[in-house]
Structure 1
Amino acid sequence: MFNIDSIANKFRLSYLVFAILLCAAFVSIFMYAEMRIEQDLVKGRLIQQLQLSQEKEGKQAVYTANPGIKIYRYDSAPENLKALANGTVQKTRVTVNNQAGETKTNLHFFAYQQKEQKYVLTYLEGNEIAMENYPVLAIFEELEDIFADALKIAVLLSLLIAVLFSHLSSKQIIKPLLNLKKAVETDHRNLTELTHLPSEVGVLARAIDEKNHKLEQYLKREQLFTGDVSHELRTPLTIIMGASEVLASQLEENSPLIEFANRISTTAKETSEIISALLLLSRAPEQLDTPQTSINTITLNEVTRLQYLLRHKPVSCKVVTDQDYVAYVRPELLKMALGNLIKNAFQYTDDGEVIVTIDAEKITVTDTGLGIPEVMMPLLYERFERLNEVNKGDQVEGSGLGLSIVQRITAHMGWQLTHQANKTGGSTFSVYYNK
């Protein structure tokens, strides 16, 4: 199928259009030249006929010569011809009577000054001018047919050559771009080999190489930052977890402080898991091992862990599934993605229920909460974008990173995240893990 957006096809089409315009220009020049030459030859033939008629018939008001030639003395010419005639051969549409009835044809005419006397010479189309007294016109008629046939062949050959040449030359023009494409897709070394070229491809290769270098530096800095932060945070988190366990062991069995000590220990462990997930997210997907992970187990754990967000709300939560489903994914990443979706549903739902549905294709989190205004849809997965409560005008606690992280995780795993507004209010987020 012809794709007009292709550079090669655009080049081929433009070359063909150029060839057609060039042929049209040559044909127009040929036809104009043919018309002017024929006019001059006809004019010469009619002047010759005037001289022959004068020698044969003497001075007359009107000379008639077959076929189709009629010469008027100016004062005897029809008024319409007198008004229009000048030194240039012109033509006008006329109706003539013949054996076939009335027919329309062209009448050629011009004015000619012979010494003191002026004439109007006419020739009616549809009649072959007698050639015996004017052989140059006969020669022109023969050459005209030859040139017309030659011009047709030249136009066809020109278009054929244009098609073939544009096809071959477009391949040569596109070849450097294809080499650049392959170099970009393969490795940095192949791209470097093109940067020395003086052509536009070399300029483009140098720009891409420079951009790749900046991107590599940026990714390297990001990986180093993530690694450094995780390394620096692991030690204090380990100390916090150890200290909280020691604190919990020294408290009395019924002490109200045990709950807080356990909360400190649990939060520290969750933070450590988040750091591990962020480290995994900074790696390339092909570098990650993906063990078989139970979706049901992680979902139930996250619902239990975040249940405290519903402590003072008339909101229920249930997990709907008909069997235990698994996915080949790092559990840390799945935990972070589902945790953020469930947390958002709990935070933005003040009344009703939250339903987490698991099937063989997707994981769905549905709530009856605030929903997402239409104005925020283009910014749904943008970082630091948060939803304000429509009725209260208060901002729900959060950083505005949750959905952005979920989108990043699902894209990293090759999954798909979708959103749909519920007719009765609230939102439904679906994670398609088995595409």
Structure 2
Amino acid sequence: MTMRWRPQHVRTRLTLWYVGVLSAVLALYIVSTLLFVYVSLRQQLDERLRAEFERVEDRLAEPSGGTIGIDGHDEEGVPASLVEVWSPEGAVLYRSASLRGEALAPAWPTTTRDDWSFTSLRLRDGTPLRVLSHAYGVLGRRVVIRVAASEERLRHEWRELSVGLLFGLPVAVAIAGLGGHWLARRVLAPLGRMARRAERLTADNLGERLPVENADDEMGHLARVFNASLARIEESFAQLRRFTADASHELRTPLTAIRAVGEVALQEHQDPERYREAIGSMLEEVDRLSRLVASLLFLSRADAGPVLRCVKRGLLELARETAALLEILAEEKGQRIEVGGDDGVMAEVDGLILRQALINLIDNAIKYSPRGGCIRITVRTNSEGAASVEVADEGPGIPEGHRSRVFDRFYRVDTSRSREGGGAGLGLAITLWAVKAHGGRIELDSEEGRGSTFRIVLPALSSSTQSMPQERPRERGEVMRTVVILAAWLGFIAVDVRAQAPSPAGLDTNRIESLTGAKGALDEKEGVFKVSVPRADLAVTAAGVRMTPPLGLTSWAAFKRAGGHVMVMGDLVLLEDQVNPVMSVALDEGLEVTALHNHFFWDTPKVMFMHIGGSGEEAAMASAVGKVLAKIKDTAGGKGDVPHAEIDPSQTTLDTSKIEAILANKGSLGSGVYKVTIGRTARMHGQEVAATMGVNTWAAFAGSDQRAVVDGDFAMLESELQSVLKALRHAGINVVAIHQHMAGEEPRIVFLHYWGVGPTDVLARGVRAALDQTRHEGDRAR
């Protein structure tokens, strides 16, 4: 058995292939070159012999005795050539003396035709000759003239060239091989770095990404494809964590209620009526738990690839049957259900599956519509020729920010309201699956305060449709997926005690991870749970140093229970274009922004660090942090805000009187910039310090009334910071720094730098709105 050797490394195989192909090409080139040179040199020699022949024939003479001579030359003949003349009878009429009696041909030629004949031969002393033979007439006699020249010089030049090329071949191949190996290592080096980074990836650091050194080449494309795959895997893990936390929470809630009711009932002797109430409460929770488990099992079968038994039937009839099942629920709230549409709309559906989807939609419409409201179900054919079933309610509508997520499992727009209604957030997820299983789609139209319309769109019924049930085969991957999901749900139902028990810090760490979408670690000594998100997506260098997440490029948020609430503190790593979009989300979600600064000099791109804080209910704080982290992800890769305005202060045409009127303060115009300064007072080292010492708010405007820039510094108390930030951000003015100018002053003064572009009056009103947040008794802006 023979072993086939195969180099282990790709770079070695590339080098060997490169060297092999180059060697073959060079060898072919050398052979072609030598052949070409040899033929060229011989052609040159043949041309020289022709010229020598013409010189010889011009000098031939017949002196006497039937011999031939060459006029004007001695017996040596023509220099640099050897001459021989033969008669038709085979007699030698002339021969150069330098031939020393040796013939240029073994005998008289068999023909005396007028063609030119070239031959090669060697003399007895080994001299190689090139011989030209041609018939010629001399004084009426037919003779054959042979002219010869030595090939020694030709062969010497050819041999020198051959030796040079053959000795140069291995040198060239060696140099090319070394260069090819170096180039292969250099080209494949990014693959090695990507492999090393990929080897470090685990479920705990899926936020890291492979390095992309050149996004335009093949390696960069490969890295981007891998990073996109990692992002999808990270999102899948995040969804799995959310699903785990939500399912665990949903299953734990009724179990906890059952246990609590049972323990209370057993604490002391109760009368039968109290026991009946306790058992009734427990049965309600059991019913809720049963519905939840049934929904989970339904979804598990759906994920496994269900068998649909589709038949052709009328959708209006199916809608009426479904509405009839839920009429009693509508009557309890004084509502009515109206069903109408085209009775001829047909579709190939599994009646049981599609009925479940309609039940979920109608049930939601009843829950969220007010008492006395109307739920309308309409069946029609849309403009595309597809069958459509619409369920419209008169409820509060769904806010735009929630519409894309209402079909997620366990997702609720209003958490408390859904729990009161007994829902687990699975109904719309089941509906979405049921519609997609039929090859359709579900659309949502909603307007806050005016209700929502869910529209099921099913494929049009073709003329060749069969009414026989159609079974969809299960793929191996789907079966495996079912096993995994069922195993997970069985684990939840079994209830892991460690997962159910609160952490030593009194925090629900699973819920925090789920709501923030980030992995965390618990410090039991300090009672702090900290989630982190490495900014591995950034390619930052500072003074030539490649900055990585361990060097400070990691966003984090720490949670700590404080009495009946939870406090949060964090630091966010942001690029310049992300700062203000992320700040707006943080402020809108009830978090505080407490500082904004840089950590590095000479960094490219510029990195900013924003500190956040807050205090409140655990879920609210975690949800707020989660939305902030989601905004960071959404604005990554240059998708943030980068204002731009080409304004030259020397061309300023501002109406300064409007600015004065809005700010209620007079400023000064210089070098095309109109600047307003508003002082504050504080005490430091026992002395009062005010505007001239730098305790002031100022705003500088330049440009035109239609397009201006404002730049400034804001002085405020710590208690005023959040209100000022909100006012500036609501006006579209960017905050570029938050910090202190002094130490030990009383009261504590915080300074904020801002910058914005837009119409002058809008900017001025934004600054005025921020100033209004600082005006308080005893320290008014002036």
Q: How high is the TM-score relative to the length of structure 2?
A: 0.25
Q: How high is the TM-score relative to the length of structure 1?
A: 0.42
Name the structure where helix makes up a greater proportion of residues: 1
Bigger relative contact order, structure 1 or 2 (CA pairs below 8 A, ≥6 apart): 1
